[in-house]
Copies of this chain bind each other. A is one copy, B any other.
């Protein structure tokens, strides 16, 4: 199960082993509670080698964040076919997302829990990736709205808020699916589609929910 301990491996391989160990340790213990000793031991190398390759705890953590972020974005992207209608794209993206986070719980913990918890400069790293995903979702919602021939279009600001809500719900459900035995990636995706898409459709077709004070005039 553990990596076979062998000497003289190429640098790239060793680096990946170290980062595997680091992601696991950071994901489970958190940034502060993870010790370089533990990471080095788990990676099967000496501590100075970790420093030789990755310079410092901070850089190591940053490298982990970047690697995991890249992997997550790649997974979502590779699940989506841009030709399909918006809801099927979203459905595919969510399934890829929940599948990836379920298969990489430590990586997901690093991105979602640890990186955002331990302040600058780590939070920024994740924000870049998150914004990329938010932009993708924003694009989908906009496209759907256009498909629905909605006129006037949903204000950009509203679209942004909805995308944030959707991505937030997805993040939260990912944690829930990982922590709740018996919840599959597909089920989590379906729950979210049910929760979100029908609501989005109503919006797109000009049937928003309105606060009570505005009920009189508009509903």
Q: Which residues of A contact B (CB under 8 A)?
A: 28-33, 87-88, 91, 113-114, 116-119, 158, 161-162, 164-169, 171-173, 175-176, 183, 186-188, 190-203, 207-209, 211-212
Contacts and interface: CB of A to CB of B under 8 A. Distances in A.
B172 A167 contact: yes
Given A30-B117, A164-B191, A169-B169, 13 more contacts: A30-B30, A91-B212, A113-B117, A117-B117, A158-B194, A161-B187, A161-B191, A165-B195, A166-B169, A166-B195, A168-B173, A168-B176, A198-B207
| Copies of this chain | 4
Contacts of A167: 172
A186 B213 CA distance: 12
Contact of A173 (B165, B186, B199, B203): B165
A30 B158 CA distance: 32
23 contacts: A29-B119, A30-B30, A88-B212, A158-B191, A161-B173, A161-B188, A162-B194, A164-B191, A165-B169, A165-B196, A166-B169, A168-B172, A168-B175, A168-B176, A169-B172, A172-B172, A186-B211, A195-B196, A196-B199, A198-B203, A198-B208, A198-B209, A201-B202
Nearest to A182: B157
A58 to B, nearest CB: 13
A118 B193 CA distance: 31
